[in-house]
């Protein structure tokens, strides 16, 4: 049975479900969830391209941060990546720095790929109890199931998922207390009609990662912004789907067949991290990578490319040009450079 039909059947017997339950089934249902299907999603032939898939320079630049943190807190020290996908980040990071590493991913296809980079006992489906070092999550928070709310006549209403004649539709629901709490604390002054993705699971994940972090830091990379800067995007909300590198159909139309995602409210994550006792910085990805030396590396690559052109070494010129373009992509102020990075130190 198709996942959409089994969701309709379930709704038929138990009634409409919160959007986060629908999103959880659509992405992670063991038979038919988008990330459970056996395909690796975050790679060139997949459905979206992430920073580490764009370039090994991302992981190599993060290696500088890892070395800084090791210098700050000393041994024992390890790196944990959560939602590690194909392993492209850890692979390039481990090329640049020698450090114990563990990878966690909910997707069986991702775990299989990660076993080609790390020993099998270093790859798992859940976070270890304690970590001393650096925890990295790149584009994880935007994939964690979220509730959905709309501002109507000055109050919050939740949008659950119910059946219509042939498919699924949003249905109005009284908001649950935990949803109202999150909205009142983190959504900001949303105008009437505005849609908000209620990212309680992302907040819980940050809290849980920081509880496990004995000393070191947590790095969360993603698209999104502060609650205030997200306000102009609230009219339609930021919930969307991706398939084969393009925006996909309506999130309710093809569960299991598309990625479902939304901009991450970094104010919410920052305040959860601060409440958990961490020292918090919220940065743009281009600034974060510049501080770790990527812009200097880009200048060197431009210079070396010119040198190779002058000396007539065409193969070397092309190799350097590719690397230069990758660095420019990671730093692009309206692309990956515009991602946000939450750095939470303990
Ligand atoms: C958008 S992909 C990013 C993959 C990789 N970090 C990258 O940048 O290419 C999100 C990944 O997070 C994984 N994931 C989602 N929820 C998770 C959870 N609770 N614990 C571990 N991994 C999770 C998914 O299976 C998927 O591989």
pLDDT for the residue numbered 48 = 66
State the residue for tokens 């993705």: 197
CA of 336 to the centre of ligand 1 (A): 18
With a cut of 50, list the residues of the chain below it in pLDDT: none
State which of 102, 117, 128, 143 you would mutate to test the pocket of ligand 1, scoring each by most atoms of that ligand within 8 A of its C-beta: 143
- C-alpha 124 – ligand 1 centre gap (Å): 12
pLDDT at 44: 63
Q: Is the CB of 33 under 6 A from ligand 1?
A: no
217 lines ligand 1 (CB under 6 A): no
How close is the Cα of 85 to the center of ligand 1, in Å? 6
Examine residue 244 and say whether the peptide bond preceding it is cis (omega within 30 degrees of 0). Answer: no
pLDDT of residue 75: 98
Q: How remote is the CA of residue 335 from the centroid of ligand 1, in Å? A: 20
Taking the CA of residue 104 as reference, the ligand 1 atom at the shortest distance is: 21
Question: How far apart (Å, rounded) are the C-alpha atoms in residues 329 and 51?
Answer: 9
Q: Is 112 left (phi over 0), alpha (psi -120 to 50) or beta?
A: alpha
| Residue 218 CA: distances (Å) to CA of 12, 79, 212, 221, 282 | 42, 10, 10, 10, 12
Ligand 1 contact via 237 beta carbon (within 6 Å): no
Q: Is 209 in the pocket of ligand 1 (CB under 6 A)?
A: no
Residue-wise pLDDT tens digits, 142-191: 999 999 999 999 999 999 999 998 899 999 999 999 999 999 999 999 99
- Closest Cα to atom 19 of ligand 1: 106
For atom 27 of ligand 1, the residue with the nearest CA is: 85
CA of 95 to the centre of ligand 1 (A): 22
Closest CA to 117 of 75, 86, 144, 141: 86
CA distance 216 to 202: 20
- Nearest to residue 246, comparing CAs of 236, 258, 256, 234? 258
Ligand 1 atom at shortest distance from the alpha carbon of 259 = 1
pTM of the full structure: 0.96
Q: Ligand 1 within 6 A of 104 CB? A: yes
Q: What is the pLDDT of residue 322?
A: 97
Alpha carbon of 107 to ligand 1 centroid (Å): 7
* Any atom of ligand 1 within 6 Å of the Cβ of 221: no
**Which pLDDT does position 166 carry in this prediction?**
82
- 318 C-alpha to center of ligand 1: Å? 33
Q: Do 194 and 154 form a contact (C-beta atoms < 8 A)?
A: no
CA of 302 to the centre of ligand 1 (A): 33
pLDDT at position 41: 66
CA of 86 to the centre of ligand 1 (A): 9
Nearest to 287, CA basis, from 336, 323, 227: 336
Dist CA 4 CA 34 (whole Å): 12
Calculate the CA 180 to chain-centre distance: 24
Instruction: With CA atoms as reference, report the closest residue to 35 among 119, 131, 107, 138.
Output: 107
As a whole number of angstroms, the distance between CA 78 and CA 306 comes to 39
Q: Give the Cα-Cα-Cα angle 89, 90, 95 (nearest 5 degrees).
A: 105
Q: Are the C-beta atoms of 71 and 93 separated by less than 8 Å?
A: no
Ligand 1 pocket test, pick from 29, 85, 109 with the greatest ligand atom count within 8 Å of Cβ, gives 85
Ligand 1 closest atom vs CA 107: 25
Distance from the alpha carbon of residue 26 to the mean position of ligand 1, in angstroms: 14
Q: Is 47 in the pocket of ligand 1 (CB under 6 A)?
A: no
> What is the structure's pLDDT at 1?
72
User: Cα(247) to centroid of ligand 1, in Å?
Assistant: 19
> Each residue of 18-27: b (16+ CB within 10 Å) or e?
bbbbbbbbbb
Using DSSP bridges, classify how beta strands 246-247 and 240-243 pair: parallel, antiparallel or unpaired: antiparallel
Counting Cα atoms < 13 Å in the Cβ hemisphere of 319 gives: 7
């Amino acid at each position: 049975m198709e996942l959409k039909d089994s969701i309709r059947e379930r709704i038929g017997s138990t009634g409409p479900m919160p959007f986060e339950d629908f999103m959880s089934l659509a992405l992670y249902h063991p038979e038919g969830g988008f990330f459970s299907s056996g395909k690796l999603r975050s790679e060139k032939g997949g459905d979206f391209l992430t920073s580490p898939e764009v370039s090994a320079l991302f992981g190599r630049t993060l290696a500088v941060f890892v070395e800084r943190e090791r210098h700050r807190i000393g041994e024992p020290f390890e790196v944990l990546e959560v939602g590690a996908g194909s392993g492209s980040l850890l692979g390039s990071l481990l090329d640049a720095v020698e450090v114990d590493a563990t990878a966690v991913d909910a997707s069986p296809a991702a775990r299989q790929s990660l076993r080609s980079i790390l020993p099998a006992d270093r790859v798992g489906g859940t976070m270890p109890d304690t970590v001393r070092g650096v925890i990295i999550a790149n584009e994880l928070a935007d994939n964690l199931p979220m509730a959905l709310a709309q501002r109507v006549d000055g109050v919050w209403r939740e949008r659950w998922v119910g059946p219509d004649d042939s498919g699924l539709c949003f249905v109005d629901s009284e908001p649950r207390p935990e949803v109202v709490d999150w909205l009142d604390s983190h959504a900001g002054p949303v105008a009437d009609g505005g849609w908000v993705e209620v990212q309680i699971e992302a907040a819980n994940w940050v809290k849980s990662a920081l509880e496990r972090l004995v000393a070191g830091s947590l790095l969360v990379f993603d698209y999104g912004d502060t609650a205030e800067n997200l306000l102009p995007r609230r009219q339609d909300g930021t919930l969307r789907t991706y398939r084969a590198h393009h925006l996909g159909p309506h999130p309710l139309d093809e569960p299991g067949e598309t990625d479902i995602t939304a901009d991450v409210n970094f104010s919410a994550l920052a305040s959860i991290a601060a409440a958990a006792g961490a020292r918090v910085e919220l940065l743009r990805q281009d600034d974060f990578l510049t501080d770790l030396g990527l812009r200097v590396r880009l200048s060197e690559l431009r210079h070396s490319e010119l040198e190779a052109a002058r000396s007539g070494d065409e193969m070397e010129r092309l190799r350097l040009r590719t690397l230069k373009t990758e660095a420019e992509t990671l730093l692009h102020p309206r692309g990956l450079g515009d991602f946000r990075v939450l750095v939470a130190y303990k």
